[in-house]
């Protein structure tokens, strides 16, 4: 392995696994990386800064306002210097701070100022790891674009056995390598992704919508971004967040979504229509709240534009991917849609299946190809499903190139 010319910033927070971080630094230096280390105050209780200074050959960043003077903008300089930041070990406390944007020491402040990819390597007691608060924070961090190097199972320093042990150093080093070199497969590709539901107003209080949460579209956006793509997300109303590097366009109804997709279409290489676009809207939006005795008389529906159909004639070399929700004859119906909308792939799923479809963190999909072939996924978290779909898109992009 060779990390020549790469700047790797290690952030040690205060857990006993910090002693393993010394070995990580030593190994990265052996692989020719330029390594710097910053530590939280608690980390210095476990390992001396001198250990890291000696191994990395560079002073350790400990304070935002060092007594010996020096620039008080060190956190910005270090944040910019790094090609990747590895938080190892990442304690529950430091992860909680990052999940909520706290910047109260040199480590959290530098992390809040960086645009470099950040790997989190959690290490903690199994109950702390399993706690709802930590799991919620961890999920939020992944939603924000932090990459997780999952801890392993085994003997913990507290004498118990379970999940929470720092991942093996070889796994951490592989993740660093993947982040530095493996994620640029979509460099210079622009993904335009629609996500979430649309809302079609009936009157000032009521609207027609559907149960889409946006989770699948957001997972695709994050994973494409992590693989180096430029990503624009046109999103209906959701409560989800996206990493800062992703361009986000918020819309409410199907016509606004159509306009936003059309506005960004010229620059995209891949269009992923994940949104559950409402097929119909009320023909007229009432200015005042409609009285219930009148509503069945005044509610007339007009069909919304079909975005994929509208763009099909302008497709040229682009890849178009659709999503299809069906409760019966899933593959047949999805293949019909694929042909009619001139898609390259359609991702079919059945919202009635347990753990799949709307609002779940997991999904089970069937990827349907233009030649009618299909590939079924097992029930997996939506991030892994997104990765499978992106693997297929990568193959299609390579085919288009050759
Ligand atoms: N879609 C679209 N514009 C719409 C409706 C849907 O671009 N007005 C896209 C969706 O984002 C999805 C695909 O078309 O990628 C299939 O959506 P779906 O609702 O399953 O299919 P419909 O074509 O609307 O057919 P039906 O509702 O009858 O199943």
Domains of the chain and CATH, by start: 7-181 (3.40.50.1950), 190-401 (3.40.50.10300)
CB 143 within 8 A of CB 218: yes
Q: Per residue in 112-125, pLDDT tens?
A: 999 999 999 999 98
Residue 181, pLDDT above cutoff 90: no
Work out the average pLDDT over 179-207: 91
Residue 23, pLDDT above cutoff 90: yes
| Stronger pLDDT, 71 or 274, i.e. the higher one | 274
Nearest in space to 319 (alpha carbons), one of 225, 396, 241, 374: 396
Residue 342, pLDDT above cutoff 60: yes
pLDDT at 318: 97
Q: Name every protein residue with a CB atom under 6 angstroms from any ligand 1 atom.
A: 254, 273, 275, 277, 279, 304, 306-308, 322-325, 337
pLDDT at 307: 98
pLDDT at 30: 95
* Choice from 211, 277, 302 to test ligand 1 binding pocket (greatest atom count within 8 A of CB): 277
Work out the average pLDDT over 306-334: 95
| Stronger pLDDT, 183 or 35, i.e. the higher one | 35
Q: What are phi and psi of 177, to 5 degrees?
A: -60, -45
Work out the average pLDDT over 87-93: 97
* Exposure class string for 220-236: b at 16+ Cβ within 10 A, else e: bbbbbbbbebbbbbbbb
CB 365 within 8 A of CB 385: yes
pLDDT at 241: 86
Q: Per residue in 146-177, pLDDT tens?
A: 988 888 877 777 777 777 889 989 889 988 98
Residue 69, pLDDT above cutoff 60: no
pLDDT at 179: 87
Q: Per residue in 301-315, pLDDT tens?
A: 999 999 999 999 999
Instruction: Report the C-alpha gap between 26 and 21 in whole angstroms.
Output: 9
pLDDT at 187: 84
Q: Per residue in 226-259, pLDDT tens?
A: 888 999 999 999 999 887 778 999 999 999 999 9
pLDDT at 67: 61
Q: Per residue in 125-152, pLDDT tens?
A: 889 999 999 999 998 998 888 988 888 8
Residue 198, pLDDT above cutoff 70: yes
Average pLDDT, the chain: 91
Q: Which atom of ligand 1 is nearest to the CA of 341?
A: 14
| Stronger pLDDT, 381 or 273, i.e. the higher one | 273
Instruction: Report the C-alpha gap between 135 and 178 in whole angstroms.
Output: 24
Where helices occur in 144-214 by DSSP H, the ranges are 169-177
Task: Show contacts of 293-297: CB within 8 Å, 24+ apart.
Answer: 295/202
pLDDT at 71: 59
121 in catalytic set? no
| Stronger pLDDT, 356 or 108, i.e. the higher one | 108
Q: Which atom of ligand 1 is nearest to the CA of 258?
A: 3
| Rounded percentage of the chain residues whose pLDDT exceeds 70 | 97
* Choice from 208, 214, 278, 322 to test ligand 1 binding pocket (greatest atom count within 8 A of CB): 322
Instruction: Report the C-alpha gap between 306 and 309 in whole angstroms.
Output: 5
| Stronger pLDDT, 188 or 6, i.e. the higher one | 6
Q: For 265, what's the count of Cα atoms within 13 Å in the CB-facing half-sphere? A: 21
pLDDT at 70: 58
Q: State the distance from the centre of ligand 1 to the C-alpha of 325, rounded, in angstroms.
A: 8
Work out the average pLDDT over 379-398: 90
pLDDT at 123: 94
pTM score, whole prediction: 0.67
């Amino acid at each position: 392995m060779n990390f020549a010319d790469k700047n790797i910033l290690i952030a040690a927070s205060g857990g006993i696994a910090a002693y393993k971080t010394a070995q990580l630094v030593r190994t990265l230096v052996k692989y020719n990386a330029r390594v710097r280390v910053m530590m939280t105050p608690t980390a210095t209780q476990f390992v001396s800064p001198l250990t890291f200074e000696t191994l990395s050959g560079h002073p350790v960043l400990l304070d935002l306002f060092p007594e010996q003077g020096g620039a008080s903008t060190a956190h910005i300089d270090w944040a910019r210097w790094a090609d990747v930041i590895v938080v190892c070990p990442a304690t529950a406390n430091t992860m909680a701070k990052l999940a909520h944007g706290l910047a109260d020491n040199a480590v959290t402040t530098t992390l809040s100022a960086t645009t470099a990819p950040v790997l989190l390597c959690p290490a903690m007691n199994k109950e702390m790891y399993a706690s709802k608060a930590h799991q919620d924070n961890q999920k939020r961090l992944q939603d924000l674009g932090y990459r997780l190097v999952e801890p392993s199972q085994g003997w913990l320093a507290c004498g118990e056995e379970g999940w929470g042990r720092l991942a093996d150093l070889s796994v951490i080093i592989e993740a660093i390598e993947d982040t530095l070199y493996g994620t640029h497969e979509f460099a210079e590709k622009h993904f335009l992704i629609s996500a979430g539901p649309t809302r079609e107003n009936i009157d000032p209080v009521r609207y027609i919508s559907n149960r889409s949460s946006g989770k699948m579209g957001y997972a695709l956006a994050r994973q494409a971004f992590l693989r180096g793509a430029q990503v624009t997300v046109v999103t209906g109303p959701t409560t989800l967040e996206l990493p800062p590097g992703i361009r986000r366009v918020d819309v409410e109804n199907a016509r606004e979504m159509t306009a936003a997709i059309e506005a960004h279409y010229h620059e995209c290489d891949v269009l992923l229509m994940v949104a559950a676009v409402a097929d119909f809207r009320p023909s007229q939006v009432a200015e005042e709240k409609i009285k219930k005795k009148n509503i069945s008389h005044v509610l007339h529906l007009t069909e919304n534009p079909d975005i994929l159909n509208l763009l099909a004639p302008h497709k040229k070399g682009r890849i178009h991917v659709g999503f299809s929700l069906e409760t019966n004859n899933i593959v047949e119906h999805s293949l019909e849609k694929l042909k009619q909308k001139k898609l390259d792939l359609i991702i079919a799923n059945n919202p009635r299946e347990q753990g799949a479809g709307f609002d779940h963190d997991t999904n089970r999909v069937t990827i349907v190809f233009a030649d009618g072939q299909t590939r079924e996924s097992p029930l997996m978290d939506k991030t892994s499903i997104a990765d499978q779909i992106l693997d297929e898109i990568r193959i299609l992009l390579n085919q288009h190139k050759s």
